[in-house]
Amino acid sequence: GNCVAMISGDAERTFVSWPGAESMLNLDMMASVRVAPGDWVFASGYTLSYPGSRDALADWIEALPAEIPFVFDPTPVISDIPRAILDRVLARTSWLSCNTAEAVQIAGAGDVEAIAAGLLSNHCPSADGVIIRAGAKGCFVRLADGSRQAVPSFKVAAVDTNGAGDTHIGAFVSALSRGVPPFEAASYANAAAALSVTRHGGSSAPTDQEIQTFLSHDDRMTTVHGREQEA
């Protein structure tokens, strides 16, 4: 498929997209996608929004080995995902990453702490945690054990917010997969997203070294990769 992103003067974006091969999946196609111990699996709500792919993908996700972490982002097209499909995928989710509007659509209105708690108790019963992204305000993380933290963002001059959410998820999962604790992984992801919005284009994710350098110049202590860095 194709997607055209139009960026306004305030760095926000509007998408014009049309589906392609990703909208036509069946279980035979999915059978060739193998997972192994140590792998992490991510799925986007976009693929679940397509009538020609949602059933096969949901079946495949449900059949994942229990030890494989599954990360889900419902994306802005959440309203196009049938509730039955959405509920099946949420039930298998290890980590849910969504923005505030998407979280409200799943769990209902309320303050962020109540919404996060509701996501875990009522919709993602097997999840390790949920992360609610709030753009320039950072993110809120709640773990299955009840611990929670609002993780602040970093001040930057944004020129293009296209890809910031994807960068955030990728950085968060990358950190988790290396053993970084969730709250620290969220700060790492906030830094990655902050860097991405200072660059034009959808492929603006920074490298690990760029993130580490950015964090090392921040005015507060940050722990990433299991070691402390202080400006």
The CATH code belonging to domain 2-22+35-229 is 3.40.1190.20
The domains of the chain are located at 2-22+35-229
128 is known as an active-site residue: no
Task: DSSP for the chain, please give it.
Answer: -EEEEEE-TTS-EEEEEE--GGG---HHHHTT----TT--EEEEHHHHHSTTTHHHHHHHHHTS-TTS-EEEE--GGGGGS-HHHHHHHHHH-SEEEEEHHHHHHHH-SS-HHHHHHHIIIII-TT-SEEEEE-GGG-EEEEETTS-EEEE-------S--TTHHHHHHHHHHHHHHTT--HHHHHHHHHHHHHHHTTSSSS--PPPHHHHHHHHHTSSS-EEETTEEE--
Q: Which of 166, 208, 218, 219 is catalytic?
A: 166
For the ranges 84-88, 133-137, 146-150, 185-189, which has the lowest average pLDDT? Answer: 133-137
Residue 91 has pLDDT above 90, yes or no: yes
Q: Over the stretch 3-46, which tens digit does the pLDDT of each residue have?
A: 787 878 777 778 787 888 888 899 999 988 999 999 999 999 99
Report pTM: 0.87
